[in-house]
Amino acid sequence: MNYHDYLELDKILNAQFPESEKRQLPAHDETLFIIIHQAYELWFKQLHHEAGSVIGILSKPSLNDNSPELQTIVHRLSRCATIMRVLVHQMDIMETMTPMDFLDFRDMLRPASGFQSWQFKELEAKLGLKFEQRHGQEYYTSQLRPSHVDIIKKAEHEKSLLEWVNDWLERMPFFDEQENWNDFKVHEPEEAPHPFWAEYRYCYQQSLSDTEKANLIAFDSTFLGKGEQPVRSLSPKATRAALFISIYRGYPVLQLPFQLLNGLLEIDEQLSSWRYRHMNMVHRMIGTRIGTGGSTGKDYLKSAADKHYIFREIAQLNSFLIERRKLPVLPVAVEKRLGFVGAF
């Protein structure tokens, strides 16, 4: 095996054809522009590879939360976040190009645009961004080839990573083992799916200031399914499991599940950083001009960045945390289940 042949360098190193050179109007920075975007697309391919493998593990009929499989999921989600940090840092290289350098070849690119990156749109769908959650629904596939639209639509109709995480969370067994909760004390029994959540609701209510009482309505809606229900990605049962993992993450069995949830938040954070960095770079390069693909440029990117949070509901769990010292004391039997001996 030869290094050059293994990496198919003949194909890669001969895949840059600046439009400015074809027109005999050479623009020095167009080669940089091409290589950076090719690198982005290669990283998007790797992100698909990692996300697909995580979905494959989560889609199994059962998943031992104290197993190498869960460690593999956590590791690969961490890799995704690291790759996304690289995507953000690549902007540093792009910004060595001045607006005048870009203008040397910008108009030659029309109507090509980064908006036509079908891999990125497919990745968003694979992670869990639904069509109805997108900004500019009527426009987001209008510039794509029909074959690429089909790829994105297929991803939107398949079960996403977020949906598989919902199913995984719903499988949490601790609350189904009623005998372990027989001696659990509740201050004010409420209509709740389990005594623990009646007690946690009481503790949460006690932690609220007078100006935060509306938060209790949100608690009942989010975790107990009461009142008017907005469209959610996570079910009340899954959301309760995610909150339980967050507040008792110090127990051995919950450490990896917490890292999984935290990994999803890190991915969302890096995606957000990339979108905002991209938006600021576009504003720096072209100001308020229309994008080469016909979008409104910075304004479109800002609206998408503000709206496209995929794991928003996991992040919102922090609104319902209480101090450690005020957490309900778990029964001894449940504590044992949360140790390595009681792995599920």
Residues in binding site: 33-37, 106, 278, 292
Are the C-beta atoms of 293 and 143 separated by less than 8 Å? yes
End-to-end CA distance of the chain: 45
Annotated binding site for substrate: 33-37, 106, 292
Q: What share of the chain is helix, strand, coil (3-state, %, to 5)?
A: 65, 0, 35
CA 218 to each of CA 213, 236, 294: distance values in angstroms, whole numbers, following the listed order: 9, 12, 40
In this structure, what token pair is assigned to residue 181?
């909760």
Residues 6+ away with beta carbon under 8 Å from 119 = 41, 44, 45, 48
Separation between Cα atoms, residue 123 and residue 39, nearest integer Å: 16
The 8 Å CB, 24+ separation contacts for 222-226 are 222/316, 222/320, 223/197, 223/320, 224/191, 224/192, 224/193, 224/197
Residues 6+ away with beta carbon under 8 Å from 329 = none
Handedness of CA 93, 98, 103, 105 (dihedral sign): negative
Annotated binding site for heme: 278
Judged on CB neighbours under 10 Å (0-12, 13-18, 19+), 191 is exposed
